[in-house]
Amino acid sequence: MLAGQKNFVTNGAEADVFLVYASTNPKLGYLGLSAFVVDRDTPGLEVGQPMAKTGLGSASLTPVYLDGCRVPAANVLGKEGQGGVMFASSMRAERSGLFAAYLGAMARQLDETIAYARERRQFGRPIGKHQAVSHRIVDMKLRLDAARLLVYRACWTLDRGGDADLEVSLAKLAVSEWAVQSGLDAIQVHGGAGVVSETGVDRGLLDALPSMIFSGTNDIQREVVAARLGL
């Protein structure tokens, strides 16, 4: 019988099936967690209203409530007590693979910002010829390429089957924080147009902000890296 509440569930409004991690033996801590596959129409499972949020407008975010939710033993994923290990493994994949999507968004943002800086003229020349603007765009390019390499390294390390926690957490930190910074820079280069919603320039920043929170906050990623550095 599952009982509890999960506050932030991406695509909760659309999901037909939920993967629920629950404590089945609290005395064992991490080794007392189990994973359950729960159909949306299971009695005792209720999906709350989608929350209005910053960015990521195409992905719903809902709470999920479990109250007296009976799940058959056949719906335990793996074995009882394996949930923690599964969660950690899925998080490594999420913190690298999911964040690769931001690389595409940053690349598009860079292309659009370069095009704008070539076209928009102020003080008799394209704004991209003003060093303050061109250097800002160079920094966007630098962040994109560095983040891409860190994501590739994280995925390569994961593929090799070793301990990839340090590489994965560094990649997650780099992509999320540099996507935020490049989102700010794109707005700055676009001037007033950067904060007019219908131009869509602010979307890069708004979509990037939640990435510092989900998949484990960036503070927690720094904790992971610090531990791997023996601190």
Ligand X SMILES: Cc1cc2nc3c(=O)[nH]c(=O)nc-3n(C[C@H](O)[C@H](O)[C@H](O)COP(=O)(O)OP(=O)(O)OC[C@H]3O[C@@H](n4cnc5c(N)ncnc54)[C@H](O)[C@@H]3O)c2cc1C
Nearer to ligand X, 112 or 223 (CB): 223
Stretch that binds ligand X, among 6-14, 99-107, 151-159, 177-185 (CB under 6 A): 6-14
- State the number of binding residues for ligand X (CB under 6 A): 14
Distance CA 167, CA 28 (A): 29
- For position 112 contacting ligand X by CB under 6 A, the verdict is no
Asked if 132 contacts 108 with a C-beta cutoff of 8 angstroms, the reply is no
Distance CA 203, CA 186 (A): 10
Helix (H) or strand (E) holding 208: helix 203-208
Q: Is the CB of 25 or the CB of 217 nearer to ligand X? A: 217
From 94, 112, 177, 223, the catalytic residue? 94
| Nearest alpha-carbon partner for 175 in 200, 199, 201, 143 | 143
Q: Which of 33, 61, 186, 205 binds ligand X (CB under 6 A)?
A: 61
Strands 33-39 and 45-47: unpaired
Task: Establish if 10 lies at the interface with ligand X (CB under 6 A).
Answer: yes
Residue 214 engages ligand X in binding (rule: CB under 6 A): yes
Radius of gyration of the chain (CA): 21
- In the complex, least distance from residue 40 CB atom to ligand X, rounded to whole angstroms: 15
Interface with ligand X, residue 87, by CB under 6 A: no
**Least gap, CB of 209 to ligand X (angstroms):** 9
Angle between helices 165-190 and 99-119 in degrees, nearest 10? 20
Q: Is 62 helix (H, G, I), strand (E, B) or coil?
A: strand
- Site track for ligand X across 36-55, x = CB under 6 A: -----------------x--
Is 94 among the catalytic positions? Answer: yes
Pairwise CA distance, residues 73 & 25, whole Å: 15
9 binds ligand X (CB under 6 A): yes
Where does residue 195 fall: left (phi above 0), alpha (psi -120 to 50 degrees), or beta otherwise? alpha
- Exactly one of 3, 101, 138, 213 binds ligand X (CB under 6 A); which one? 213
The correct pick among 148, 182, 210, 225 for binding ligand X (CB under 6 A) is 210
Is 83 among the residues that bind ligand X (CB under 6 A)?
no
Out of 8, 15, 141, 206, the only residue in the binding site for ligand X (CB under 6 A) is: 8
List interacting residues with ligand X (CB under 6 A): 8-10, 53, 56, 61, 210, 213-214, 216-217, 219-220, 223
